Amino acid sequence: MKVLVAVKHVLDYNIAPRIKQDGSDVDIAGVKMGINPFDEIAVEEAVRLKERGVATEIVAVSIGGESSKDTLRHALAMGADRAVLIQTDVVMQPLGVAKLLKAVVDKEAPSLIILGKQAIDDDAGQTGQMLAALLGVGQGTFASAVTIKDAEVEVAREVDGGSETVVLKLPAVITADLRLNEPRFIKLPNLMMAKKKPIDTLAATDLAADFSPRLKLAKVAEPPVRKAGVIVGNVAELVEKLRSEKVIA
Ligand X SMILES: Nc1ncnc2c1ncn2[C@@H]1O[C@H](COP(=O)(O)O)[C@@H](O)[C@H]1O
Ligand Y SMILES: Cc1cc2nc3c(=O)[nH]c(=O)nc-3n(C[C@H](O)[C@H](O)[C@H](O)COP(=O)(O)OP(=O)(O)OC[C@H]3O[C@@H](n4cnc5c(N)ncnc54)[C@H](O)[C@@H]3O)c2cc1C
Binding site for ligand X (CB under 6 A): 6-8, 36, 38-39, 62-64, 92, 94, 97, 115-116, 118-119, 122, 124-128
- At 71 the three-state DSSP class reads helix
How many Cα neighbours within 13 Å face the side chain of 5? 35
Tally the residues of the chain. 249
**27 to each of 65, 88, 224, how far by Cα in Å?**
16, 19, 19
Instruction: Report, in Å, the least distance between residue 68 CB and ligand X.
Output: 7
Q: How far is the CB of 13 from ligand Y (least distance, A)?
A: 4
Q: Alpha-carbon distance 197 to 77, whole Å?
A: 9
* Identity of the amino acid at 189: P
Residue 63 binds which of another protein, ligand X, ligand Y, none (CB < 5-8 A, kind-dependent): ligand X
Q: Which residues in 117-156 contact ligand Y (CB under 6 A)?
A: 120
Rule CB under 8 A: say whether 31 interacts with another protein: no
Work out whether 91 is an interface residue with another protein (CB under 8 A).
no
Identify residues 196-235 at the interface with another protein (CB under 8 A).
213-223, 226, 228-232, 234-235
DSSP H/E element including 145: strand 138-149
Q: Which of 137, 145, 186, 191 binds another protein (CB under 8 A)?
A: 137
- What is the chain's alpha carbon radius of gyration, rounded to the nearest angstrom? 21
Using the rule CB under 6 A, is 110 a contact of ligand Y?
no
Contacts with ligand Y by CB under 6 A lie at: 13, 37, 120
